[in-house]
Chain A
Amino acid sequence: MSQSVPEPSSLRADRITMAYQDRIIGEDLSVDIADGRFTVIIGPNGCGKSTLLRSLSRLLRTRSGTVYLDGKDIHRSRAQDVAGRLGLLPQTAIAPPGITVFDLARRGRYPHQSILSRWSAQDEAAVHRALAQTEMTELADRPVDELSGGQRQRAWVAMVLAQESSILLLDEPTTFLDVAHQISLLDLFAQLNSDEGRTTVAVLHDINHAARYADDIIVMSHGRIVAHGPPVDVLTPELLAEVFGVEAVVIDDPVNGGPHIITRHRTRIPASVAPTREEAP
């Protein structure tokens, strides 16, 4: 191998085909997740964002192609080793009834424990750090199902942080939260990303949040990646019209810099959610 070639990113997909049973979601998809950067995935509902995260995190076996973690086929690595490297917060996570915040965070330590090992000082420290980072220390003894939506989401984030993985995959972590909680959570992810250099991949619905927080944006449509790059390069009126079916003006964000999207009006419903009546034979 030549030394001049830039080092491949730790997490990448090489021509993968993603499918559930006999339903193919995406074909021949390749992507490199840039190390240490904050990548945001956007795309219409049902375009395969969650499926991509599941494939990248070894939850879904790809039909063909390979996902590489540190240059190794992710399905040939030990599950617990992968888990120590890569943490996932799924889109719908429901805590068992009655479990406390501390208990939930504690379970994130699973990949660092073995059958016979006891709860160590290191485990304890990791959980404390995770609770402090998510500002959940005070609520540690409260049952998760009695918390507000924002607090509950933070409890789950604490669980993933306790895992101490260097790569974080977050599937719609801000959906269902009010705007203040969305921003405080995104600030937390941005801070973790810049302070600790954790590679972070998040699926978001708000394009302006994507523009504001992402180093890189991946735009998906119909199981394909249609654009991948810094927000300024990716978020063009043409792309927004093509993928989301919205007519938009892109201006300079007067407060934070970077692109800011203002939608004019809807031109058409994206094909992935449009009724297909006309196409029926």
Chain B
Amino acid sequence: MHDPVGATAHATGSRLVLALAGLTAGLVIAIALSLMVGTETVAPSRILAGLSGECDREATALLLHYRLPRTAIAIVVGIALGTAGALMQAYTRNPLADPGILGVNAGAVLGVTIAIATGVSLSVTTLAVPALIGAAFATVAVLLLASTGRGPATPIRMTLAGVALGAVLSGIATAMRLYDPSTFERHRSWAAGSVAGRQLDELTGIALLVLTGAVLALLLLRPLNAVALGDDVAASLGVNTRRTRTLTIIAVTLLVGAATAIAGPISFLGLMVPHICRLLAGNDHTRIVPLSMLVAPLVLVLADTIARVIIPLRETPVGIVTAFVGAPVLIWLVSGRRTNTQ
């Protein structure tokens, strides 16, 4: 029997599977490139030999102590920021929301700056704590600011509050750095957004935080899809809208805090990736979030590889590359009719 609706629904389903498969393949290629390319190119055969621990001391050292951690961190940070951006856009019903716009990034940065300035902690794992506290503080503050007066926080009010608070928090962090040269120095490479110069063992704690946030995000997809229809409809469908919102905020805080702690603020990724995924897959969080989880690490691994070769011997922090790639994409998205603002 001919069944147009079922056929289409089925087609979109299998298209999604295809897209996921293609993206996974793309990610594998990007990872291979990231391991190969840099100030010294390592041939694929040497990578395999190096990874299996055979022969070639030099390549093994380069891979295990330098490129592998760096690639792994780019993957974890990419997953974190892609997921966080998608959650933020769902939460605020604002296709242009991202952790940066809502001040969460700035909160995490301020947390880290304070920690660096007071000399409390300097290792990546311990930096996650002030980053998380800062991210949580910013999120809660934005929510409170946006919901003063009557009624719940609307997307527009949240965005305005986020931009304003983000500016204030960044200002404070900048002032702290300018008053204290040593803080400035220690903060510099971190703040530019870099996935370089960290070791794998530093990543474990961060990866666990990101994993928690990502699993939480996957559990929230269907409720978020219902919340997208408006709070009344969602509640009448049996969704606990308040719990959904709270868990979303917790997930975003975990993801952004963890990513910022290890890589510094990386702009535009969380904004750009989910937005592109929405254009590709439609306005459905059960598709946007999983796609973002693949596209964002893909973009970040590639950006980091490019950052390594763009100016030979002087590695450009990846945050700067994503900004350079992200800003034009953002302008393109906003200028066209491609933005489905409400």
Contact = CB atoms under 8 A, between A and B. Distances in A.
B282 interface: yes
B88 to A, nearest CB: 15
Nearest to A136: B5
Contact of A54 (B150, B219, B232, B283): B232
Interface string B194-222: 00000000000000000000000001001
Interface centre among A96, A124, A128 (most CB of B within 10 A): A96
Interface stretch (B120-128, B223-231, B322-330): B223-231
B341 A88 contact: no
Interface stretch (B16-24, B105-113, B237-245, B295-303): B237-245
A111 B238 contact: yes
Nearest to A141: B8
Contacts of A87: 236
A84 B238 contact: yes
Interface stretch (A9-17, A101-109, A211-219): A101-109
A88 B232 contact: yes
Contacts of A137: 4-5
Interface centre among B150, B223, B235, B236 (most CB of A within 10 A): B236
Contacts of A221: none
Say which size band chain B's interface belongs to.
20 to 34
A108 B6 CA distance: 17
B9 A90 contact: no
Interface string A68-102: 00000000001111111011101011111111101
Nearest to B238: A83
B234 to A, nearest CB: 8
B118 interface: no
B232 A98 contact: no
B177 interface: no
A102 B239 contact: no
B93 interface: yes
A80 B240 CA distance: 9
B335 interface: no
A161 to B, nearest CB: 13
A130 to B, nearest CB: 11
Nearest to A86: B236
B232 A59 contact: yes
Nearest to A113: B222
A97 B340 contact: yes
A98 B282 contact: yes
A98 B238 contact: no
B230 A102 contact: no
B315 interface: no
Interface residues of A, number: 44
A42 interface: no
A95 B229 contact: yes
4 closest A-B pairs by CB: A83-B238, A97-B340, A88-B236, A80-B238
Nearest to B236: A88
B342 A97 contact: yes
A110 B232 contact: no
Given A83-B238, A90-B233, A102 B5 contact: yes
Given A59-B232, A141-B4, 18 more contacts: A58-B235, A59-B235, A80-B238, A83-B237, A88-B236, A93-B233, A96-B93, A96-B229, A99-B228, A107-B237, A108-B237, A110-B222, A115-B219, A127-B5, A137-B4, A140-B5, A140-B8, A163-B237
Contacts, number: 97
A57 interface: yes
Contacts of B233: 88, 90, 93, 159
A85 to B, nearest CB: 10
Contacts of B232: 54, 59, 88, 90, 93
A52 interface: no
A99 B222 contact: no
Nearest to A103: B284
Contacts of A138: 4
A99 B236 contact: no
Interface in A9-32: 21
Interface string A128-144: 10010000011011000
Contacts of A88: 232-233, 236
A99 B284 CA distance: 7
A250 to B, nearest CB: 35
B142 to A, nearest CB: 22
Contacts of B229: 93, 95-96, 104, 107, 159
B222 A98 contact: no
A54 B237 CA distance: 13
Contacts of B238: 78-84, 110-111
A110 B237 contact: yes
